[in-house]
Amino acid sequence: MPTPSMEDYLEQIYMLIENKGYARVSDIAEALTVHPSSVTKMVQKLDKDDYLIYEKYRGLVLTPKGNKIGKRLVYRHELLEQFLRVIGVKEEHIYEDVEGIEHHLSWDSIDRIGDLVQFFEEEEKRLEDLRDVQSRSE
Ligand SMILES: [Mn+2]
Protein backbone atom coordinates (compact mmCIF):
# COMPACT_ATOMS: atom_id res chain seq x y z
CA MET A 1 0.00 0.00 0.00
CA PRO A 2 1.33 3.45 -0.88
CA THR A 3 1.71 6.01 1.94
CA PRO A 4 -0.37 9.24 1.82
CA SER A 5 2.61 11.07 0.36
CA MET A 6 3.12 8.42 -2.32
CA GLU A 7 -0.59 8.68 -3.10
CA ASP A 8 -0.29 12.45 -3.64
CA TYR A 9 2.56 11.88 -6.09
CA LEU A 10 0.82 9.09 -7.97
CA GLU A 11 -2.35 11.19 -8.20
CA GLN A 12 -0.46 14.19 -9.62
CA ILE A 13 1.67 12.11 -11.98
CA TYR A 14 -1.43 10.37 -13.34
CA MET A 15 -3.16 13.73 -13.91
CA LEU A 16 -0.11 15.28 -15.59
CA ILE A 17 0.19 12.34 -17.96
CA GLU A 18 -3.55 12.48 -18.69
CA ASN A 19 -3.47 16.21 -19.40
CA LYS A 20 -0.05 16.73 -21.00
CA GLY A 21 1.04 13.30 -22.08
CA TYR A 22 4.08 13.34 -19.79
CA ALA A 23 5.14 14.22 -16.24
CA ARG A 24 8.45 15.98 -15.69
CA VAL A 25 10.10 16.30 -12.28
CA SER A 26 9.71 20.10 -12.53
CA ASP A 27 5.97 19.81 -13.30
CA ILE A 28 5.42 17.46 -10.37
CA ALA A 29 7.37 19.79 -8.06
CA GLU A 30 5.23 22.72 -9.16
CA ALA A 31 1.94 20.82 -8.82
CA LEU A 32 2.77 19.67 -5.30
CA THR A 33 4.71 22.81 -4.31
CA VAL A 34 7.74 20.83 -3.20
CA HIS A 35 11.43 21.06 -4.09
CA PRO A 36 12.51 19.15 -7.22
CA SER A 37 15.03 17.16 -5.13
CA SER A 38 12.12 15.82 -3.04
CA VAL A 39 10.40 14.78 -6.25
CA THR A 40 13.48 12.94 -7.49
CA LYS A 41 13.74 11.10 -4.19
CA MET A 42 10.08 10.07 -4.21
CA VAL A 43 10.14 9.12 -7.87
CA GLN A 44 13.06 6.81 -7.13
CA LYS A 45 11.09 5.19 -4.34
CA LEU A 46 8.03 4.81 -6.60
CA ASP A 47 10.28 3.22 -9.20
CA LYS A 48 11.69 0.81 -6.62
CA ASP A 49 8.14 -0.15 -5.55
CA ASP A 50 7.17 -0.80 -9.18
CA TYR A 51 4.69 2.08 -9.60
CA LEU A 52 6.70 3.73 -12.36
CA ILE A 53 9.86 3.57 -14.41
CA TYR A 54 12.15 6.54 -14.06
CA GLU A 55 15.05 7.29 -16.33
CA LYS A 56 16.93 10.43 -15.51
CA TYR A 57 17.03 11.97 -18.97
CA ARG A 58 13.96 10.33 -20.48
CA GLY A 59 11.35 11.11 -17.86
CA LEU A 60 8.99 8.64 -16.30
CA VAL A 61 6.21 6.28 -17.25
CA LEU A 62 3.68 4.62 -14.96
CA THR A 63 3.73 0.82 -14.80
CA PRO A 64 0.34 -0.95 -15.13
CA LYS A 65 0.26 -1.08 -11.31
CA GLY A 66 1.02 2.66 -11.03
CA ASN A 67 -1.48 3.52 -13.73
CA LYS A 68 -4.24 1.51 -12.08
CA ILE A 69 -3.76 3.08 -8.67
CA GLY A 70 -3.24 6.58 -10.13
CA LYS A 71 -6.58 6.31 -11.88
CA ARG A 72 -8.32 5.23 -8.67
CA LEU A 73 -6.72 8.06 -6.69
CA VAL A 74 -7.87 10.68 -9.19
CA TYR A 75 -11.36 9.14 -9.18
CA ARG A 76 -11.37 9.22 -5.37
CA HIS A 77 -10.38 12.89 -5.29
CA GLU A 78 -13.06 13.83 -7.84
CA LEU A 79 -15.73 11.78 -6.06
CA LEU A 80 -14.96 13.44 -2.73
CA GLU A 81 -15.20 16.88 -4.36
CA GLN A 82 -18.59 15.90 -5.77
CA PHE A 83 -19.65 14.61 -2.35
CA LEU A 84 -18.74 17.83 -0.56
CA ARG A 85 -20.51 19.83 -3.27
CA VAL A 86 -23.65 17.69 -2.91
CA ILE A 87 -23.79 18.15 0.85
CA GLY A 88 -23.47 21.89 0.30
CA VAL A 89 -19.91 22.68 1.33
CA LYS A 90 -18.77 26.08 0.08
CA GLU A 91 -16.63 26.00 -3.07
CA GLU A 92 -13.74 27.75 -1.29
CA HIS A 93 -13.39 24.84 1.18
CA ILE A 94 -13.75 21.94 -1.20
CA TYR A 95 -10.22 21.41 -2.50
CA GLU A 96 -8.46 21.77 0.86
CA ASP A 97 -10.99 19.57 2.64
CA VAL A 98 -10.62 16.81 0.07
CA GLU A 99 -6.82 17.01 0.41
CA GLY A 100 -7.33 16.65 4.15
CA ILE A 101 -9.56 13.56 4.12
CA GLU A 102 -8.78 11.62 0.94
CA HIS A 103 -5.96 9.50 2.38
CA HIS A 104 -7.85 8.56 5.50
CA LEU A 105 -10.93 6.75 4.23
CA SER A 106 -11.24 3.05 3.43
CA TRP A 107 -12.33 2.04 -0.07
CA ASP A 108 -15.51 0.80 1.60
CA SER A 109 -16.30 4.35 2.74
CA ILE A 110 -15.38 5.72 -0.69
CA ASP A 111 -17.79 3.30 -2.37
CA ARG A 112 -20.60 4.15 0.07
CA ILE A 113 -20.02 7.86 -0.57
CA GLY A 114 -20.25 6.99 -4.26
CA ASP A 115 -23.70 5.47 -3.60
CA LEU A 116 -24.79 8.60 -1.78
CA VAL A 117 -23.65 10.92 -4.57
CA GLN A 118 -25.50 8.71 -7.04
CA PHE A 119 -28.60 8.79 -4.82
CA PHE A 120 -28.66 12.58 -5.01
CA GLU A 121 -27.84 12.71 -8.70
CA GLU A 122 -30.61 10.32 -9.70
CA GLU A 123 -33.42 12.60 -8.57
CA GLU A 124 -33.16 16.38 -8.54
CA LYS A 125 -35.89 16.42 -5.88
CA ARG A 126 -33.59 14.72 -3.33
CA LEU A 127 -31.09 17.54 -3.57
CA GLU A 128 -33.88 20.09 -3.30
CA ASP A 129 -35.10 18.37 -0.13
CA LEU A 130 -31.62 18.49 1.35
CA ARG A 131 -31.25 22.19 0.50
CA ASP A 132 -34.62 22.73 2.14
CA VAL A 133 -33.42 21.14 5.41
CA GLN A 134 -30.24 23.22 5.19
CA SER A 135 -32.07 26.50 4.67
CA ARG A 136 -34.19 25.74 7.74
CA SER A 137 -31.16 25.06 9.97
CA GLU A 138 -29.28 28.19 8.98
MN1 LIG B 1 -5.89 15.00 -4.03
- Report CA(136)–ligand 1 centroid distance (Å): 32
Q: Is 87's pLDDT higher than 80?
A: yes
Give the whole-number percent of the chain exceeding pLDDT 90. 93
Q: What is the mean pLDDT of residues 110-121?
A: 98
Confidence of residue 88 (pLDDT cuts 50, 70, 90): very high
Q: What is the pTM of this model?
A: 0.90
Residues 6+ apart with CB under 8 A from 22: 16, 59
CA nearest to 43, candidates 78, 1, 89, 8: 8
Q: What is the CATH number of the domain that holds 115?
A: 1.10.60.10
- Report CA(125)–ligand 1 centroid distance (Å): 30
Q: Is 58's pLDDT higher than 90?
A: no
Q: What is the mean pLDDT of residues 20-48?
A: 95
User: Are 36 and 90 found together in one domain?
Assistant: no
Q: Is 56's pLDDT higher than 90?
A: no
From 69, 103, 118, the end of a domain falls on 69
The answer to the question of whether 78 is labelled as a binding residue is no
Q: Is 120's pLDDT higher than 80?
A: yes
Q: What is the mean pLDDT of residues 88-95?
A: 97
| Backbone phi, psi, residue 21, to 5° | 90, -10
Q: Is 55's pLDDT higher than 80?
A: yes
The answer to the question of whether 99 is labelled as a binding residue is yes
Neighbours of ion ligand 1 (CB under 5 A): 77
Q: What is the mean pLDDT of residues 86-97?
A: 97
Q: Which domain holds residue 23?
A: 4-69
From 41, 69, 97, the end of a domain falls on 69
Q: What is the CATH number of the domain that holds 11?
A: 1.10.10.10
Q: How many domains does the chain have?
A: 2
